[in-house]
């Protein structure tokens, strides 16, 4: 199981104010816990849900809250990140930030080009 929390911590170091932004969570999000399941329920009726990052980060810091699969866009920062099938984390953003994010993890692979 991979944890989105490690990626969130890394992004919080690289982006001052990361916790003050809005996350756009897209349909297909799945996981465990009251907060995550409430997003799943909302996404049954919508393509995406906008949530305050502070709410998501607080919920995910609890032991029994996690995503098995999620795609998040943070338009204010021009980045996207998530978890794919509880197998790997991913990040998409500016090249320099992508390299800094990757440097915080042991097993990384650069795939494709940043936009």
Domains contained in the chain, number: 1
> Is residue 16 assigned to a domain?
yes
The Cα 112–Cα 109 span in angstroms is 10
- What is the sign of the dihedral through the CA atoms of 18, 65, 52 and 29? positive
* Structural domain range at position 21: 4-102
Burial class (CB in 10 A: 0-12, 13-18, 19+), 111: exposed
> Is residue 109 assigned to a domain?
no
The Cα 30–Cα 100 span in angstroms is 28
> Is residue 67 assigned to a domain?
yes
> Is residue 97 assigned to a domain?
yes
Per-residue pLDDT of the chain (115 residues; tens, 9 = 90+): 678 888 999 999 999 889 899 999 999 999 999 999 999 999 999 999 999 999 999 999 887 899 999 999 999 999 999 999 988 899 999 999 999 999 988 887 777 654 4
Residue with tokens 């816990």: 33
> Is residue 113 assigned to a domain?
no
> Is residue 110 assigned to a domain?
no
> Is residue 108 assigned to a domain?
no
| Tokens matching residue 71 | 């795609």
């Amino acid at each position: 199981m991979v944890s989105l929390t490690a990626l969130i911590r890394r992004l919080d170091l690289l982006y001052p104010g990361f916790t003050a932004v809005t996350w756009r969570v897209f349909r297909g999000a799945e996981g465990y816990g009251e907060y995550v399941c409430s997003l799943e329920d909302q996404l049954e009726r919508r393509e995406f849900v906008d949530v305050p990052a502070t709410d998501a980060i607080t919920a995910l810091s609890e032991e029994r809250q996690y995503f098995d699969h999620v795609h998040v866009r943070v338009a204010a920062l021009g980045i996207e990140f998530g978890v794919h099938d509880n197998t790997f984390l991913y990040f998409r953003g500016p090249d320099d930030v992508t390299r800094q994010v990757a440097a915080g993890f042991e097993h990384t692979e650069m795939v494709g080009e940043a936009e």
